[in-house]
Amino acid sequence: MATADFAVFLIDDDPRVLKALARFLRSAGYRVRGYSSSRKFLDEHDASAPGCAVLDLHIRGLSGLEVQQALINQVAYRPVIFLSGHGTIRATVQAMKAGAIDVLLKPVNRSELLQAIKRAEERDRIRRRNEAECRAVRALIQELTPREREVLTHVVSGLRNKQIAATLGTVEKTIKVHRGRVMGKMGVSSVAELVRMTEKISLEPYQLVNSLAPKANSTNGLTLKV
């Protein structure tokens, strides 16, 4: 069963292939958007829409490999399945190294195509779930004060409260308060959970402050410390 919001972007400059595959995929429950031009597909591409691209490897104009690279350059992690009437080992290897789900020979085996699309669905689902989780973690970190972010970086680095206090030039009791606030705002009950959250957004501890902390506020030239 196809996922309701998952679309197949079908790109092929052979109108017969385009029509036949579109009809088949719709009968299999997929929403299909057909393109006879790779350039038109890229011009209209919306990376936010769940789906995969089923693309002729040797389409006229921008080739399939060029379309794949264009999507990568756009940071559009669209799962791609290639179809080819005369595939070469070199092109196939290049496509797979760049992250293609599969390269299928024409006339395409419909069962193999559906299996490849299912793999694309799963990859797309996992990526979007991970992205949503990363956005949620970043949003929580943005709610921390600059000082709380500093404490967070040291906590996930494995430092104890006493060590953090010495590093930040304060007392252990104050660090305990900040640490409790961090845990509460992040919605966790253990350091292990905090570490997993920071790993999820692929940031080293020192980067949390540098890349997520807002610039210091100032009023009348005076820096406001938190």
Provide the number of structural domains found in the chain.
Answer: 2
Cα–Cα distances in angstroms (integers) from residue 222 to residues 209, 216, 218, 225, in the given order: 21, 10, 5, 9
Using the 3D structure, point to which of 131, 160, 188 is the last residue of a domain. Answer: 131
Using the 3D structure, point to which of 131, 160, 175 is the last residue of a domain. Answer: 131
CA proximity to 107, closest of 88, 90, 84, 81: 84
Domain containing residue 92: CATH number: 3.40.50.2300
The parent domain of residue 50 ranges over: 7-131
Classify residue 2: in a domain, yes or no.
Answer: no
Q: In this predicted structure, what is the pLDDT of residue 198?
A: 85
Tell me: the pLDDT tens digits for 177-195? 999 999 999 999 999 999 9
Statement: residue 201 has pLDDT above 90: no
Classify residue 136: in a domain, yes or no.
Answer: no
Q: In this predicted structure, what is the pLDDT of residue 76?
A: 81
Enter the tokens of residue 144: 């921390």
pTM here is: 0.74
Mean pLDDT score across all residues of the chain: 87
Tell me: the pLDDT tens digits for 162-180? 999 999 999 999 999 999 9
Provide the pLDDT confidence category of residue 206 given band limits of 50, 70 and 90.
Answer: very low
Q: In this predicted structure, what is the pLDDT of residue 28?
A: 94
Using the 3D structure, point to which of 110, 131, 152 is the last residue of a domain. Answer: 131
